[in-house]
Structure 1
Amino acid sequence: MKLLLLSVFVLLLGACSAGEAADKKENSVVSEAAASEVVKDEDTKPEVELVEANGNTKLIQWLSDSMDRGNHDYDTMAHSELVVELNYSEANRGDVIYYKTPESAVEKNPQLPEFYIARVVGLPGETVEIRAGQVYVDDKKLDTFYGVATDRGLGKDDYFKMAEQNIEEGTWTTDEEVSKKELITWVNMDAKEEYFATSIEPVKVTTEAVFVLVDQWWRGTDSRDFGELPLERVEGKVIGYVKNK
């Protein structure tokens, strides 16, 4: 009898262990699936198009490299004027918008222009966070060209590879007496490491606002500085460079 009871106990224990293992495996699969979830934007392209101006647009100058992705992007000193499509009614991720600079940003930096441009990253109702240079939307990785810290369009690995090569070759200075060590200090690699590890706490976007970022984070002002941007401040969407007449 004791032997029979022991056998039943062993069978029950084995069944429980198998069940727990199955549950752990299922939970692991669910966790991996959750971790692999991403937010994509396959419609927005890095290139700025040439477009026609019309009665519902205005032309603006933008004399900053805050949106530079390696081709002086959006900089009207290097390209023609920017065309802004007026009456911005529906926010879409990836839109580059033209808006009235928040007063809180101007108080910190009175040199800021009255109107600014930046890209919509977070939509109404979403929560945006930056962890170690990567943007997350509702705890999902933003898997697109503007979802990560860049310097003139280069990610961290490509930037440091380029920097090390330029330092080695001395192409970042014409002074033959500048040593490699001095060049490294001049380029300030530690500051770049810190930049590519940019992080901010989660920001919950309200129903009538968006979260915006410039493409080259270290060269501009955006929601990292002033929080969400009310849609009422948006004058229009930048749709491209004006075609030369």
Structure 2
Amino acid sequence: MRKCYLIIAAIAFVILSGCDNKKAIVDGITQYELPLMERQESNQITHLINHDGMYRSEQYAANSTLVIDLDYYKSQKISRGDVVYFKTDAKEEEISNKKRKGYDVARVVALPGETLLVKKGQIYINGRVLDTFYGKEYYTNGFINGTDKALSMDKETVLLDGQYLLASDVWWRGGFTEPLPKDKITGRVIGWIKSQNE
């Protein structure tokens, strides 16, 4: 009889502890590496990176050239994990003085209607772990999520309809954007071109 109670208690514990753990959001599709391209097509432009916010390998280093498809989102929806080309909030004076660029690139981490929080270097979307390479903090040459050195946010960021939240892949270099309206996202990064000097 005692064995029966122990078995029932163990089953109840497993069921109840499972209720507190929300299933992770897993992105097994997005890859960090971009395809190397020989040239761009007529509906594409190039963007020269001027910072190390996305840098984990040569293709995203400062002075690397990315290829942007300006028509991509005319037929596709913006997805989590996409590296997008977006209009910044830089003022004309900042752009003309070359202090900031009018456009930049970053990765989509949160979608319209979602809530984002970062705890010890781990992104949570609606209270669920974002289980992918861009869902945790990377520092110079390794992940530091779960450590005291990792980033934590004091409060959640709530996205309204039509808003997206973008982040660099190396948070301490580029960080997170404010919630960004869809019309500021003007293209998708689809590849990169090696410098002609190499």
| Structure ranking higher in helix proportion | 1
Q: Where does 1:20-169 land on structure 2 (aligned, <5 Å)?
A: 25-26=11-12, 28-32=14-18, 34-35=20-21, 37-51=23-37, 52-69=39-56, 71-75=57-61, 77=63, 79=64, 81-87=65-71, 88-89=73-74, 90-102=77-89, 111-156=99-144
| CA spacing shift, 1:237–1:137, aligned 2, 3 Å | same
Equivalents in 2 of 1:91, 1:239: separation in Å?
A: 13
Query: Unpaired segments of 5 or more residues in structure 1?
Result: 1-17, 158-191
Quick check: 1:127–1:202 contact (8 Å CA) kept in 2? yes
Instruction: Specify the code of the residue in structure 2 equivalent to 1:240.
Output: G
Distance between the aligned counterparts of 1:207 and 1:26, measured in 2?
39
Q: Does 1:204 pair with 2:188?
A: no
Offset of residue 197 of structure 1: 3.5
Query: Which stretches of structure 1, 4 residues or longer, exceed 3 Å deviation after superposition?
Result: 21-28
SS in structure 1 of the partner of residue 18 of structure 2: helix
Distance change in 2, residues 1:48/1:146 (3 Å): same
Question: For the aligned residues, what is the CA RMSD?
Answer: 3.1
Match of 1:231 in 2: 182
Tell me by how many angstroms 1:85 deviates: 0.8
Larger radius of gyration: 1
Select the residue among 189, 192, 198 that pairs with 1:241. Answer: 192
- How many residues are treated as equivalent by the alignment? 183
TM, length-normalised to structure 2: 0.78
The TM-score with structure 1 as length reference comes to: 0.65
For 1:58 and 1:213, the matched residues in 2 are separated by: 22
Deviation at 1:95, TM superposition (A): 0.4
Offset at residue 86 of structure 1 (A): 0.6
Q: Hey, what's the Cα distance between the residues in 1 that align with 2:49 and 2:90? A: 19
Structure 2 residues without counterparts, runs of 5 or longer: none
